[in-house]
Structure 1
């Protein structure tokens, strides 16, 4: 197998970190009874399986590139389209199911306000994944964007991990910021400036956070939620 190219270890290690957070987050939530949905629910189980499969792909793909196995990398890349579509579809239906439950609440918000968390996650995932797919021939952008797409969908796992162990909600934000910081540090080491892919993803993350704590509790978002999930 060919030696790992300069910079590739970061992507492999970050993929492992993201996958570990997903496994630890959903696993700890099930064990401690703080999960937002049981694995006994077929929809939750299907979503969890597809979700984990996506992160496993994130681990495998950089290794294939490092080993020079471009053909398999490209084939799995096309399979990732199916994973992405399933993540979006299942994410929508899980959010719709949660919205129908009177007790549904995230960050102390009512059901309508709470939907902004998964909705912004899904929107940002679609944007970053689409950019990654469009930039398949731009290696530096593509590999960043694929990992950043995974980071865009990390919020449910990160929240479960922190809350399962009694951590305060600000720790969830701190975890996300630490992961984005790792990308910026890597960019600086590799090219002495932030890469546009990292800046784009982080900007979307910031915009989503602003939306979550400004429009989520208002009548406009309640109307949007009713149209989407009512």
Structure 2
């Protein structure tokens, strides 16, 4: 009986480490065509904040894999101690999302597409709110592992959207396209990112008989954010929010 319990714990640990590794591969691979390959060839022309933004976000995916591995190996005290650094890193991520959004608006304004960029910030800024919600809920429930680890999976799925969007842009953007795309093009990669939840749902179904409620609630929030960002971006209220964010740069 004890051996069976230990085997079950190890199997669950391996599953979450495997998910963390998948997130790392998606995060890196999604940006190969539009960022990593261009940086390697010296042809990337984006603003310096984009390098900072990319470095911090990729560091987070590595950090998440390390944290998951610590928990899986039973080093819970180390996992929690490093969690403090995770809070700082997540906070830095939030700041760089806002700065990258401002950079997008400024760059688009220079070519007469400022309003399009302001509308497109609905994608990144609403995703930031959703990520923050999942992350804060995970931290609040850090001593309830069944909730904590599932909330972190949901937070990571939010972060996979931009990486997959870059692949969509690489393969489907019309030749010669410039400036920010229309908001609706962000919906398909977001829905593809949601598919990363399927292994977690299936694993729950196999190990506990049904998906954990937090996954079902989280999936509803993911879909709501992705589908409502289009109509939201068309409202004057959002344009006012985007201008307020833009004004942070002075």
- Given the alignment of the two structures, is residue 141 of structure 1 paired with residue 158 of structure 2, yes or no? no
> TM-score of the superposition, structure 2-length normalised?
0.80
CA distance in 1, matches of 2:87, 2:232: 31
CA distance in 2, matches of 1:219, 1:95: 18
Within the candidate set 220, 227, 232, 1:203 is matched to 220
Across the aligned residues of Structure 1 and Structure 2, the Cα RMSD in angstroms comes to 2.6
Q: Check the 8 A contact 1:58/1:147 in 2, yes or no.
A: no
Corresponding residue number in structure 2 for 1:25: 30
Q: Deviations over 1:182-215 (max 9, x none)?
A: 2221221222222132123212211112221212
187-196 vs 86-95, greater mean Cα deviation: 187-196
- The structure whose RCO (Cα within 8 Å, separation 6+) is larger is 1
Q: Which has the larger radius of gyration?
A: 2
Corresponding residue number in structure 2 for 1:9: 14
Consecutive unaligned residues of structure 2, counting only runs of 5 or more, are: 1-5, 175-184
Q: Check the 8 A contact 2:120/2:233 in 1, yes or no.
A: yes
CA distance in 1, matches of 2:217, 2:20: 19
* CA drift at 1:134: 0.4
Larger helix proportion, structure 1 or 2?
2
CA distance in 2, matches of 1:173, 1:90: 20
- Given the alignment of the two structures, is residue 222 of structure 1 paired with residue 239 of structure 2, yes or no? yes
Q: Check the 8 A contact 2:161/2:190 in 1, yes or no.
A: no
* CA drift at 1:39: 7.1
Structure 1's 6 and 39: CA in aligned 2 closer, same or farther, altered over 3 A?
farther
* CA drift at 1:124: 0.4
Corresponding residue number in structure 2 for 1:97: 103
Corresponding residue number in structure 2 for 1:56: 62
SS in structure 1 opposite 2:129?
A: helix
CA distance in 2, matches of 1:154, 1:39: 23
Alignment length (residue pairs): 223
> TM-score of the superposition, structure 1-length normalised?
0.86
Corresponding residue number in structure 2 for 1:194: 211
Q: Check the 8 A contact 1:38/1:44 in 2, yes or no.
A: no
Q: Check the 8 A contact 1:148/1:198 in 2, yes or no.
A: yes
